[in-house]
A and B are shown apart, each in its own frame.
Chain A
Amino acid sequence: MSGLAGARPASSGGPLTLAVPRGALFAGTLDVLDAVGIETAGPRGDSRALIFETPELTLVTMRPSDVPTYVEAGSAELGITGKDVLLEQRDRAVYELLDLGYGSCRMVLAARRGDATLDESERRLGAMRIATKYPRMAERYFEETGRQAEVIEVKGSVELAPLVGLADGIVDLVDSGRTLADNELEVREEITACSARLVANRVAHKLRAAEVDSFAERLRKATFAGSDR
């Protein structure tokens, strides 16, 4: 059964379902699955299908930001997504089991290089205008650091906002920092480090404990996530 209609049961038996993020984490995720011996020829092919059955796991592919939604509802027992997504959707009740290490980037506050607008807005106008794709995370960050910000949500290239005067700064995920540099922006504050995480549905974590734990353990070994211990 493909389970296309409605919510799937959390633990109906059969293989576990893993939500696989398309986009920036897609290649890294498939590499890790290869490393633990899970068949990835399906998702690696050019099929437009969204669901791929393997002997061990059912893989369902989706946007990273949808992963917590599917996993919370139990339509996928397990999922892989970025820490940035989990921070933005903190009210989704999922178990965060493992830091997979890959896809590592930094969530930062950035502004135009050598430009004082950000500080000046805070000092003279009482609040900074911040453009971001992560409005809830940004609001929480400024609240926790005791500052006021007017958070402006944008969907596309955030770097544009300070360049044309929509915002004084941005909160965004940076990898190499090249996009920032190309747009004459610089990092002002590091907010947190992000990387790919393994998450589990709350009910599946209990009712299919052995399968969930053994899959997590295999991933842990494959990614050397526990290498500091």
Chain B
Amino acid sequence: MTHPIPPGTRDVLPDEMRELRRLQTALAEVFAARGYGEVATPTIEYYDVLARGDEGGAPIAYRFADEQGDLLAMRADMTVPIARLVANRFARAEPPLRFFYIGNAYRAVRPQRGQMREFMQVGVELIGAEAPDGTAEVVDVLVAALDAAGLSRAVIGLGDADLYRQLLSEIGVEGETQAMLLDSLAAHDLVGLETEIAALGEIGDGEREVLLRLANMRGGAEVLDQAHDLGGAAVERATSRLRATYEALAARGIADRVQLDLGLLRDLRYYTGAILEVYDPALGHVLGGGGRYDALMGRFGASLPAAGFGLYLERMHIAQAEEERLGGGS
């Protein structure tokens, strides 16, 4: 007779646990060496508190009432609880604040390899540091973390959560139509995006071309020049933050670890400005992501610019194993 565990959860046995722990330790050392202090928050929070931070964000998997009848939920990420913690406990501290975390989070997803409903996230939050320097510091820490994990082939996708929205607004695409286009882009539905752009009555062919091509532009520094050549001043304004971030990364000597991606949008709605995604050639899934969330702290009453990233520990572990299996052969 076997005794079941809930779908999307799993037991970890000693061989795997040893390797996961080794990975955690290596990452924790990197973060600590750069002045980040470890924090932990409760696995459960009041549902209202999580919802305040993340409207339309990561799908919460578990919610339930306690004996008082209060609605509780398992956290869907660590960023929102840490925003709450900073507002509660560090409201009068001198920024910038640097925290890292290693903890479980819970999401309503279809369970598969490297994507469980309960999963471990490792990451940092840099609170009170403006773009672009704050963003560049976070990317710098991310590069060091990937190197420490042996994933030096990993690439960091860098986009801007407001770029496409700003461009749409500038050429007069607003409201529901704009939301529809952004949804298609966030869902990676480029066919839907193309159809919707073709149906836009109020814009010219040149602008249509800009919207279409920009969504698919990704690569090195040349991408910014190509975008400028394509769209002129409006695109220049929309891409100026991204250019500034890229220059700050170049100054730190890590621009070659980054792929600029003008069509990148993440599905968590709290991002503003720079957004990040991490890819490793050994794994078909995204290793993690992050970016700026300058408006999030304000929702908890402590307006501070902020940036961070979170990595899926189990996926990093799978990527390590795959890299080993490939034996550096490619």
Contact A95 B188 (CB under 8 A): yes
Contact of B284 among A10, A13, A99 (CB under 8 A): A10
Query: In the complex, what residue of chain B is closest to A213 when comparing beta carbons?
Result: B216
Given the complex, which residues of A lie within 8 Å of B203, measured CB to CB? none
**Alpha-carbon gap, A93 to B277, bound state (A):** 14
**Alpha-carbon gap, A14 to B330, bound state (A):** 9
Known A98-B191, A99-B191, A197-B191; judge A10-B261 contact (CB<8 A). no
Contact B188 A202 (CB under 8 A): yes
Query: In the complex, what residue of chain B is closest to A9 when comparing beta carbons?
Result: B282
Contact of B157 among A11, A12, A74, A206 (CB under 8 A): A206
Per DSSP, chain B at the interface is mixed
Q: Output the least CB separation between A84 and chain B (Å).
A: 14
Contact of A9 among B155, B259, B283 (CB under 8 A): B283
Known A10-B284, A203-B286, A207-B281; judge A96-B192 contact (CB<8 A). yes
Q: Output the least CB separation between A36 and chain B (Å).
A: 18
Given the complex, which residues of B lie within 8 Å of A10, measured CB to CB? 279, 281-284
Given the complex, which residues of A lie within 8 Å of B187, measured CB to CB? 90
A-B CB pair tally, cutoff 8 Å: 83
Residues of B in contact (CB 8 Å), total: 33
Q: Output the least CB separation between B157 and chain A (Å).
A: 6
Restricting to B182-199, which residues have a CB under 8 Å from any CB of A? 187-192, 194-195, 198
Given the complex, which residues of B lie within 8 Å of A7, measured CB to CB? 113, 284
Contact of A204 among B110, B190, B284 (CB under 8 A): B284
Known A9-B283, A202-B285, A209-B219; judge A228-B188 contact (CB<8 A). no
Q: Output the least CB separation between B324 and chain A (Å).
A: 12
**Alpha-carbon gap, A11 to B283, bound state (A):** 8
Given the complex, which residues of B lie within 8 Å of A97, measured CB to CB? 190-191
Contact A202 B326 (CB under 8 A): no
Given the complex, which residues of A lie within 8 Å of B322, measured CB to CB? 9
Contact of A93 among B188, B195, B259, B280 (CB under 8 A): B188
Known A12-B330, A206-B157, A207-B155; judge A91-B110 contact (CB<8 A). yes
Chain A 1-34, CB within 8 Å of chain B: the 1/0 string?
0000001011111100000000000000000000
**Alpha-carbon gap, A201 to B283, bound state (A):** 10
A-to-B contact residues, CB < 8 Å? 7, 9-14, 72-75, 90-91, 93-99, 197, 201-207, 209, 213, 228-229
Pairs A-B, 5 closest by C-beta atoms: A74-B284, A11-B281, A10-B284, A95-B188, A13-B330
Show 8 residue pairs from A and B whose CB-CB distance is below 8 angstroms, ordered by the A residue: A7-B113, A9-B284, A10-B282, A99-B191, A197-B191, A202-B285, A205-B188, A206-B259
